[in-house]
Chains A and B, each alone.
Chain A
Amino acid sequence: MSRPEDQPTGAGSQGIPGPTDRTAGTSTATGQAATPPPSEDRWREAVRAITTGNGLVALLSVLLAVAIGSLLILVTDDAVRETSGYVFSRPGDFFSAAGQAISGAYGSLFRGSIYNSRGADFASQIRPLTETLKFAGPLIMAGLGVGLTFRAGMFNIGGRGQMLLAGAAAGWVGINVDLPFPLHLAAAVLAGMVAGAFWAGIAGVLKARTGAHEVIVTIMLNYVGFYLVFYALSRQSLLQAPGSINPKSLPMQDSAILPDLLGDRFNLHLGFVLALVAVAVVWWVLNRSALGFRFRAVGANPHAARTAGIDVGRTYVLAMLISGALVGLAGANQILGTATSGVTVDLDAGIGFDAITVALLGRSHPLGILGAGLLFGAFKAGGFSMQASEGIPVDIVLVIQSLIVLFIAAPPLVRAMFRLPAQEAK
């Protein structure tokens, strides 16, 4: 019985040491093409770059989201609804009501976030801009944290829990430790970062050790963190203010508070500078450091990273620790800068989840996150002024924010809506 395997070519091997068709279909076919794109007319190429680039999609996503937000404001505006009843007999009323609703909304949004032309003096005129920066600070910090885990191939949906624990830890140091000014502040900030890192690190360790999905773990830890901090805030022995029955701590000592940047008239504090420093540090880590190289390698292809001698589990843990520290910085920023009157379970102010949208809008790049953080900071600052002056619920900001992210995440959808040319398939 003769049963040689493969090509029976005897001594001289003339068969093909053929690879098997491992990849079927498109990948096989497209895998062949490795030639540079043919050089086109430079102008057309530029137009193409703009219309197919991510920048335009981002801009259009923002416009689209704002347009939908406007529609919501319109259909829920009482005056607009009233005039729409007789829109055909007196269309003028309808359009002027609609115009007023929209211009009122965005006018107050602008006055609340950038420049208040109705301000009495220059200081109150530019105060909104400083408010925007104040709100942007923690969004940028936490956004960097979330973005960093995205780059390492993970999700950190646990911003809320990490901020709460960080705020509680920073708050505890800020209340109970006696140190002179810069040291006390530094210790409190550090405590917050460590607490945030610890809470996120749990998810990192569990992922590295047991493969537990960090999305589920961080979501669950949000709630565990919430109840832990709530527990601490309802025990006088831990964080609750003595003699109080409310779940709230004492205010921070002055030596632990982030100093104002522009004096007493503005709320803007040192936290924004820390956010800028964080942007620079994270940029360096991701783009210029060996650690960031490994983060990116693990994020893009953990198998290849492991084969190349990179300890994937360790990288996950490190990425989660740094991410948690950044989110923790945001938590410390809240309690030591923005809301120094005491630790509460609301101290995260939605930033933990906003950070996800900031990171997505910023495409997980530090500079993008800076821009996205500023934009969403402006929305926050303006949203509150819109609610105060126009009676439009601040929740509209959440709607616009999440719509932006949805659209950004689906460029083909946006392109189809605006009939733009499709981006060249990879």
Chain B
Amino acid sequence: MSTPHAAAPTDDRAGRPDGPHVMTTASPKVAIILGVVTLLLAAVVAFGSQTGDTTFRLSTRRDLAQLPDVTVPANATAWVAIVLMALATAEAVRRYLARTKVPLWLPAAYGVVAMIGFLAWAAAGATLPVIGLLAGALALAVPLVFGALGGVLGERVGVVNIAIDGQLLAGAFAAALVGSLLGSAWAGLIGAMLAGALVGLVLGVFAISYFVDQVIVGVVLNVLIIGLTSFMFSQVLAPNAATLNSPPRLGPVSVPLLGEIPVIGPILFRQSVVVYLLYVAVAVVTWSLYRTRWGLRVRAVGEHPQAADTVGINVLRTRYRTLLIAGATAGAGGAFYTLVSVSQFNREMTGGAGYIALAAVIFGKWDPIRATLAALLFGFASNLQGVLSVIGSPVPSEFMLMLPYVVTVFAVAGLVGRSRPPAAVGTPYRKG
């Protein structure tokens, strides 16, 4: 009764041993991108030749173990980096021609080398506080990562979450208000999560129960929340700033031992509790999504809701529940603005960070870890811009700020790897 194709080896993409054969699908994209970036940096360094040395400072004054500063000649370092980048590009080309996959470490190592070369060149004649640069990047990235996690959860269950920005803003507002009223930062944090979840609930009501286009709901919700929070800010918070808009702060807490590890300690473990919460959130979301029954069902509902329905999973309830969790996650990110960064709410204070978080979701291919890395990268880009403009660098800051958005455009255009969203994302589920 068994048949040849039933026993089909599963590593065969076609799955049919004597069926259609596969024609070439290898892509030269990685090699092309690496090559272009290498040439770009070479051109920049060649035309904007710098003189002097660049100092990388690897310790802060509070560190127990003081690492010495590293000083390198600016131009020479940049050229060494460019040579290494060219070698990596050649390896990528070789692998493309040999039809083998380019391993992930290659572009990763390339990226680190490129960044060192670029920084050495851009900060010529100055001292670059590496710790401050990276710790600041992490701080800027915190709301982005929370927002991106919320975005990943929403999209994985099949609901486009354009309202991340609204959730961040609502979270920031609620954290400031609740924190001030109750005099507790923790209460503020919980308030922020509730506010984010509330936005998620409204998104759910319109997108899930009333089949309203998810993009429309998301965009309109963002506008609504800007209007609401700005209105309440001018009308209520600003006139009563002392009682309603001065929440207690959640300042940095150094983790014993871990905080003293050279370089890594000051960056990762001398942060606010909210940042530690972030580490937990990333781990929990990733583990739950891939390793638990809940996650399996969430992914099934986002990929093929009808299949989930026919095995007895309540699609609508799963979507609502996941949207609430997603909203609470993004809301917690909003609390970072008013409980950690500055201790007061201000109108439109997220500055569209939710849209960068959305970009991180897509650039991160709907995967919590990759989205987190993308958000960190975007945080790094904006902080680098700040640091470079302080030490005076030849790169216009506007172009650094543009980077996350341009990268995302390239990503959705499929120029940086192929992104495939969950199959059912954006489509409301109607029974039958």
Contacts and interface: CB of A to CB of B under 8 A. Distances in A.
A224 B213 contact: no
B202 to A, nearest CB: 8
Interface in B208-243: 210, 212-213, 215-217, 219-221, 223-224, 226-228, 230-232, 234-236
A43 to B, nearest CB: 31
Interface stretch (A7-15, A187-195, A405-413): A405-413
B228 A206 contact: no
Given A211-B414, A403-B224, A220 B216 contact: no
Of A210, A398, A403, chain B has the most CB atoms within 10 Å of the CB of A398
Nearest to B430: A26
A360 B219 CA distance: 12
A395 B237 CA distance: 14
B406 A401 contact: no
A120 to B, nearest CB: 30
Contacts of A61: none
A403 B221 CA distance: 9
Contacts, number: 134
Contact of A72 (B219, B231, B401, B432): B231
Contacts of B396: 231
Interface in A192-238: 206, 209-213, 215-217, 219-224, 227-228, 230-231, 234
Contacts of B412: 206, 210, 212-213, 216-217
A238 to B, nearest CB: 11
Contacts of B232: 76
Nearest to A219: B355
B352 A223 contact: yes
Interface residues of A, number: 47
B362 interface: yes
B405 A392 contact: no
B413 interface: yes
B231 A223 contact: no
A155 interface: yes
Given A231-B399, A393-B231, A216 B223 contact: no
B212 A356 contact: no
A413 B210 contact: yes
A393 B231 CA distance: 6
A398 B223 contact: yes
A410 B227 CA distance: 20
Contact of B409 (A206, A230, A398, A406): A206
B402 interface: yes
A401 B223 CA distance: 9
Contacts of A403: 224
A234 B389 CA distance: 14
Contacts of B228: 72, 395, 399
B220 A215 contact: no
A252 B219 CA distance: 33
Contacts of A234: 398
Interface in A316-363: 353, 356-357, 360
Q: Which secondary structure characterizes the binding site on chain B?
A: helix
Contacts of A230: 398
Contacts of B210: 409-410, 412-413
Interface string A159-195: 0000000000000000000000000000000000000
Nearest to B218: A215
B358 A227 contact: no
B359 interface: yes
B186 interface: no
Interface residues of B, number: 44
B206 interface: yes
B402 A223 contact: yes
A76 B414 CA distance: 49
A57 to B, nearest CB: 12
B406 A402 contact: no
B408 interface: yes
A24 B309 CA distance: 15
Interface of chain A: mostly helix, strand, loop or mixed: helix
A393 B235 contact: yes
A26 B414 CA distance: 37
A276 interface: no
A356 B216 CA distance: 9
A24 B347 CA distance: 51
Contact of A155 (B215, B220, B235): B215
A398 B228 CA distance: 8
Contacts of B415: 210
A403 B215 CA distance: 15
B413 A212 contact: yes
Contacts of A155: 215
A157 B413 contact: no
Given A357-B220, A395-B231, A406-B206, A231 B398 contact: yes
A289 B212 CA distance: 30
A299 B271 CA distance: 50
A402 B220 contact: yes
Given A216-B412, A221-B405, A410-B206, A392 B235 contact: yes
Nearest to B226: A398
A282 interface: no
B215 A406 contact: no
A224 B215 contact: no
Contacts of B224: 398-399, 402-403, 406
Interface in A377-412: 392-393, 395-399, 401-403, 405-406, 409-410, 412
Interface string B235-273: 110000000000000000000000000000000000000
A243 interface: no
Contacts of A212: 409, 412-414
25 contacts: A24-B432, A72-B231, A157-B219, A206-B409, A211-B414, A212-B409, A212-B414, A216-B358, A219-B162, A223-B355, A231-B396, A353-B223, A356-B219, A360-B216, A393-B231, A395-B230, A401-B227, A402-B224, A405-B220, A409-B216, A409-B220, A410-B210, A412-B210, A413-B205, A413-B210
Interface of B: 162, 205-206, 210, 212-213, 215-217, 219-221, 223-224, 226-228, 230-232, 234-236, 347, 352, 355, 358-359, 362, 396, 398-399, 401-402, 404-406, 408-409, 412-415, 432
Interface of A: 24-26, 72, 76, 155, 157, 206, 209-213, 215-217, 219-224, 227-228, 230-231, 234, 353, 356-357, 360, 392-393, 395-399, 401-403, 405-406, 409-410, 412-413
The 7 A-B pairs of least Cβ separation, nearest first, read A398-B227, A402-B224, A393-B234, A410-B210, A399-B227, A395-B230, A231-B398
Given A25-B432, A220-B405, A231-B399, 19 more contacts: A216-B359, A216-B362, A216-B408, A217-B413, A220-B406, A227-B402, A234-B398, A357-B223, A397-B227, A398-B227, A398-B230, A399-B224, A399-B228, A402-B223, A405-B220, A406-B217, A409-B213, A409-B220, A410-B212
